[in-house]
Structure formats: C-alpha cells, structure tokens
Amino acid sequence: MYAYKAMNAKIFSLAAALMALFGTSLQGVTLVSYDFSGQPGNQTTTSTSVVASGLSADPLSRGAGLGSVAFADSMSGTGWDVGDFTPSDNDYFEFSITPDSGYEMDVTSIDLSILRSSSGAKNYAIFTSLDNYASAATNTYLDIGTGTQNLSFTFLTPSNFEGLASGLTLRLYGWNATTGGAAYLQSTFTASGSVNVVPEPSTYALFMSLGLVAYLVCRRHLRK
C-alpha cells in the first residue's frame, strides 16, 4: 500500500511538472492603462502607466482630426465631428497592444472616464484594426450628458478578440458634437483581459513523451 501511495505521489508530481511546462496564464488583468493625473491636457501623447507582463503597448495618441487644449489632469480632444459619424475625419484617441513572442492575449473590455463640454462629442464607440475600423467593435454610447461620464465598452463578438498573437490597435471614435467642442479623458483609460503563454511545438512533444513515461511506469506498477 505504501508503495502504491508513493507511486501516486510521483505521478502527481510529474503531472504538476507537466502543467508548469505550459507556462502561466494571467486572467482578468489590466492589459494596459493610461493615467492622466498630472498631465497638462494638451500633451501629444500619454505614456502607459501599466502594461501586463508578456505585452507591449504604445502611448495613447489623438487622430489627425482632433486638436487639443490645456486642461489639467486630462488628455483633451477638440474639433469633434458635428452630426453623423465620418471615419475619414480621424476624430479618435488611439492605442495599440502587442503580445510578446510566445504570448497571446484576450481583450475583453475598455473602461474610461470622459468629461464632455456642452459642445463636445456625444456619441462614442471602439473600433479596431481587426476589420480596418470598418464598424464598431463594441457597444455604442449615444447622447451622453455633460460632465464626467464613466464609459465601459465590451465587444459585440468577444471570440474575435480571444487568442490574439499579433498587435491590435483600438480607437475611441467620437461624433455628434454640437459645435465641435472639447471632450477630456480623465482619471484612467484601461483595457482589460487575459495574457497566456503559448508553448513551443517542442514543449508539446516533451509533454507527450513525459505523459507516455508516466503511463508506462503506472502500468508496470499495476502488473506487479
């Protein structure tokens, strides 16, 4: 009986070692975040404040269609589209996330706070490079009020944003302004999701080999 328990312990240890070979997974984490505390508002870009292990990310920037104005602890955008959405006007904030070699990511949500002036953009949605910004990838906020609004975006087709092994660019487009006035990103701008290690083919082969060894050892023991 003691030998049987010892064999079980060895097999369990081997299984744990095999699982470790497949690396780690960071679930439900901040992939990238931008903090506007201390920013002047009219900065050209805002650097990352948090980037998850296994990823790299670009600074947050404005599209060519937006201007800026000084406003403490923010990143401003002025000159938003008046009326219907027109992608070619380039009225957006943009950032990119790229998995490092050997990693993949799931992007699940984007959360931000935006202060809208009485003449700023009232409608917002996230578009991505996955379809070359052809359509909104998330829920759309329509006719948001003035003052600070907390917006949370989730993807309409979540599976499209799972297991991404290459870079993804995301744009927060705004439109339907009254007179093209200002809107200010405040507090933080955060993308959340998961980061996973992708084992090399040689790791899969080693996994299968060790699994076969464990099977043969167990089989040999049971024959005794």
pLDDT digits (tens, 9 = 90+) for 194-220: 999 997 554 444 445 555 555 565 566
Calpha distance 34→116 (Å, rounded): 19
Report the C-alpha gap between 224 and 220 in whole angstroms: 7
CATH code for the structural domain at 24-198: 2.60.120.260
Both tokens of 147, joined, read 């003052």
| 2-11, 115-124, 145-154, 172-181: segment of lowest average pLDDT | 2-11
d(CA 39, CA 50): 16
Tens-place pLDDT, residues 51-60? 999 999 999 9
Asked whether the beta carbons of 218 and 18 are under 8 A apart, the reply is no
More confident residue, 20 or 152: 152
